[in-house]
């Protein structure tokens, strides 16, 4: 009964209702869009980090990441590959890693030497695409190497030159080889450009006496798979003496940055919520102002105060509900549109390609952000209409009827 009345009131004041719904819808749509933008940027960054070289998850011998040593290698690779096969993880790459010195004429530079299998890498990461001069390593290469651009500059070597790399082999002896520089990587990320040398895995294993041995297994997973796969792998592999690390366990800075920005976003959004609530309260109060005489008459005819209040509240809730639905629809439509077309930020940023952040942002929204936002707006709209409802309940019928509005 109350519902029917509320609905009829809404219909009667169509214009007013529309305006109120519009206020809510716009606010919500804006909030959703902002999240879409935010999540789009963050997910883009995090995906890039994983996809270029780090991978989503890495598996090593226990404690390897903190204390990397050539001899802290994976004891039995089939223990790991069998679990990966079971879990149906296809995008994987095996690697071997060691600290090395690139010997210059008078001085040497420390580097991280990474032995990769080109086929596995192509399936798992995009590092091959970061080569700007020359080429990436290929199947069949022996003592070829790819260097970061800054390192190549510092060593004063160009394509075709020899690079001498020294490393400790498995027995602690010095292993040294001459490599031909076949490719240069320019990524914009200092850790790669100034710290890495990539060589064919087979050759490096042989050079260091590590035939058939590996330092790490790198996996590339889709966003939703990350946590469940990690949990499954940890359950099986940690008891066997391995460590399973997600990208943000290894390089927490980016995730911390994302959390930080999300934190700020929540603050922003609370403020925007405030604005929306104020707007809603305004419109409801205004409409109430108009209907003071109406309420007065109703009360004079015997309608109780509580009833009046609940009527106002019900109306607001229905308007709120419609506003939320419209707003969600509108917001998601916006997100979906820009998901396909992207937002071009290159004017606002330098148009130089960033390593982690692309200049065109494709919006997407995380489910929990969506949920929280919609619920918050609903709650805010409800709360905002409490005041007018309470006001309505306090009206004196006679004064109300005489109100001139």
Partner 1 sequence: MAESDYNHSMLVRIFFLMISIAIATLPALAEEVSSNEARETMVRLQALLRSDTNTARYTMTVKTSEWERSITMDSWDDRPGKRFFIRVIEPVKDRDTTYLKLGPNLWMYLPKLERDIRIPPSMMLSSWMGSDFTNDDLVKAASVVDDYRHSLTSNKDGSVTVESIPKPEAPVVWGKLVHVIRADGIPLSEDFYDEHGNKKRSMKFENVKEIGGRTIPTRWVMLPQDNPDKQTILQVDAIEFDPKIDAAVFTRGNLKKRGR
Partner 2 sequence: MGSLGIYIKLGSRNLWLHPARTLLTMGALVVGLAALTFLSALNDGWLQNMKENFVMTETGHIQIHANGFQDSQQISDAILKPEKVFAALEGKPGIRAWTRRVSTSGLASAAGANAGALIIGIDAEREAKVSRFREFLSSGEWVSGGDARSLVMGDVLAEKLEIGIGDKVVLMAQTPSGDLASEVFRLRGLLHSGVMNIDNMMVMIPIEPAQNWLELGSGITNIVIRTDSFKSVDQVTNTLKATLQGEDLEIMRWMEIDPMAQQWTEMADAYTWIVLAVVIIVVLAEVLNTMLMSMHDRIREFGLMGALGTQGSQLFAMMIWETVILVTIGGLLGYGLGAWISAYYGEHGLDLSAFATAFSFMYMSPVVHPLVTLENAVRIIGAAIVGAALAGIYPAWKASRLDPVEAMREL
Rounded distance between C-alpha atoms, residue 168 and residue 171, angstroms:
8
Nearer to partner 1, 101 or 184 (CB): 101
Contacting residue, 108, 282, 326, 359, with partner 1 by CB under 8 A: 108
Q: Does 390 bind partner 2 (CB under 8 A)?
A: no
Q: Does 232 bind partner 1 (CB under 8 A)?
A: no
Nearer to partner 1, 107 or 351 (CB): 107
Q: Does 160 bind partner 1 (CB under 8 A)?
A: no
Q: For tokens 């130089």, what's the residue?
A: 352
Contacting residue, 71, 120, 150, 202, with partner 2 by CB under 8 A: 150
Contacting residue, 122, 134, 153, 321, with partner 2 by CB under 8 A: 153
Task: State which of positions 88-147 bind partner 2 (CB under 8 A).
Answer: 106-107, 110
* Smallest separation, CB 105 to partner 1 (Å): 9
Each residue 42-81 as x (binds partner 2 by CB under 8 A) or -, in order, gives: ----------------------------------------
Task: State which of positions 10-29 bind partner 2 (CB under 8 A).
Answer: 15-16, 19-20, 22-23, 26-27
Contacting residue, 78, 156, 171, 302, with partner 1 by CB under 8 A: 171
Q: Which stretch binds partner 2 (CB under 8 A): 69-77, 86-94, 277-285, 305-313?
A: 277-285
Nearer to partner 2, 56 or 391 (CB): 391
Closest CA to 230 of 242, 246, 215, 214: 246
Task: State which of positions 161-220 bind partner 2 (CB under 8 A).
Answer: 188, 190
Q: Does 176 bind partner 1 (CB under 8 A)?
A: yes
Q: Does 75 bind partner 1 (CB under 8 A)?
A: no
* Smallest separation, CB 358 to partner 2 (Å): 11
Contacting residue, 5, 87, 164, 286, with partner 2 by CB under 8 A: 286
Closest CA to 321 of 224, 91, 329, 107: 329
Nearer to partner 1, 100 or 365 (CB): 100
Each residue 77-106 as x (binds partner 1 by CB under 8 A) or -, in order, gives: ------------------------x-x--x
Q: Cα 95 from chain centroid?
A: 26
3-state secondary structure the chain: CHHHHHHHHHHHCHHHHHHHHHHHHHHHHHHHHHHHHHHHHHHHHHHHHHHHHHCCEEEEECCCCCCCCCCCCCCCHHHHHHHHHHCCCCCEEEEEEEEEEEECCCCEEEEEEEEECHHHHHHHCCHHHHEEEECCCCCCCCCEEEEEHHHHHHHCCCCCCEEEEEEECCCCCEEEEEEEEEEEECCCCHHHHCCEEEEEHHHHHHHCCCCCCCCEEEECCCHHHHHHHHHHHHHHHHHHCEEEEEHHHHCHHHHHHHHHHHHHHHHHHHHHHHHHHHHHHHHHHHHHHHCHHHHHHHHHCCCCHHHHHHHHHHHHHHHHHHHHHHHHHHHHHHHHHHHHHCEECCCCCCCCCCCCCCCEECCCCCHHHHHHHHHHHHHHHHHHHHHHHHHHHCCCHHHHHHCCC
Q: Checking DSSP bridges between strand 131-134 and strand 162-168, what pairing results, if any?
A: unpaired
Instruction: Give the other-Cβ count within 10 Å of 212's Cβ.
Output: 7
Rounded distance between C-alpha atoms, residue 100 and residue 109, angstroms:
8
* Smallest separation, CB 223 to partner 2 (Å): 20
Rounded distance between C-alpha atoms, residue 401 and residue 257, angstroms:
59
The item of partner 2, partner 1, none sharing an interface with residue 177, based on CB under 5 to 8 Å by kind, is partner 1
Q: Which stretch binds partner 1 (CB under 8 A): 23-31, 61-69, 161-169, 305-313?
A: 161-169
Q: Does 177 bind partner 1 (CB under 8 A)?
A: yes
Q: Does 289 bind partner 2 (CB under 8 A)?
A: yes
Chain residues binding partner 2 by CB under 8 A are 15-16, 19-20, 22-23, 26-27, 30, 33-34, 37, 41, 106-107, 110, 150, 153-154, 188, 190, 253, 256-257, 259-260, 262-264, 266-268, 271-272, 274-276, 278-279, 282-283, 285-287, 289-290, 345, 348-350, 354, 357, 405
Chain residues binding partner 1 by CB under 8 A are 101, 103, 106-108, 110, 164, 166, 168-169, 171-174, 176-178
């Amino acid at each position: 009964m109350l519902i029917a009345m509320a609905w009829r009131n809404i219909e009667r004041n169509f214009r007013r209702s529309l305006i109120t719904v519009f206020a809510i819808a716009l606010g919500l749509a804006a909030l959703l869009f902002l999240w879409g933008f935010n999540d789009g940027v963050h997910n883009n960054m995090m995906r890039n980090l994983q996809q270029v070289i780090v991978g989503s998850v890495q598996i090593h011998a226990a404690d390897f990441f903190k204390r990397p040593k050539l001899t802290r290698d994976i004891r039995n690779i089939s223990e790991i590959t069998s679990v990966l096969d079971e879990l149906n993880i296809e995008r994987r790459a095996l690697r071997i890693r060691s600290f090395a010195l690139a010997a210059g004429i008078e001085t040497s530079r420390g580097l991280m030497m990474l032995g990769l299998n080109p086929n596995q890498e192509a399936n798992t990461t995009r590092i091959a695409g970061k080569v700007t001069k020359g080429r990436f390593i290929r199947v069949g290469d022996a003592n070829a190497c790819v260097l970061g651009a800054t390192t190549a500059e510092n060593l004063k070597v160009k394509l075709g030159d020899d690079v001498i790399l020294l490393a400790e082999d498995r027995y602690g002896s010095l292993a040294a080889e001459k490599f031909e520089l076949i490719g240069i990587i320019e990524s914009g990320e200092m850790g790669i450009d100034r710290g890495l040398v990539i060589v064919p895995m087979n050759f490096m294993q042989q050079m260091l006496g590590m035939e058939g041995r590996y330092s790490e297994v790198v996996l590339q997973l889709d966003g939703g798979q990350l946590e469940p796969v990690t949990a499954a792998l940890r359950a099986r592999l940690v008891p066997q003496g391995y460590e399973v690390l997600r990208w943000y366990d290894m390089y927490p800075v980016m995730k911390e940055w994302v959390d930080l920005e999300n934190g700020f976003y929540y603050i922003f959004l609370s403020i925007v919520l405030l604005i929306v609530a104020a707007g809603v309260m305004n419109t409801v109060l205004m409409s109430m102002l108009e209907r003071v005489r109406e309420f007065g008459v109703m009360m004079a005819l015997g309608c109780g105060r509580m009833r009046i209040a609940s009527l106002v509240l019900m109306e607001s809730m229905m308007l709120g509900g419609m506003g939320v639905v419209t707003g969600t629809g509108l917001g998601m439509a916006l997100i979906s549109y820009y998901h396909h077309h992207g937002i071009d930020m290159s004017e606002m940023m330098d148009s130089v390609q960033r390593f982690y952040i692309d200049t065109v942002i494709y919006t997407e929204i995380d489910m929990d952000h969506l949920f929280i936002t919609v619920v918050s707006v609903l709650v805010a709209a409800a709360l905002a209409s409490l005041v007018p409802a309470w006001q309505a309940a306090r009206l004196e019928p006679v004064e109300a009827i005489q109100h001139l509005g």
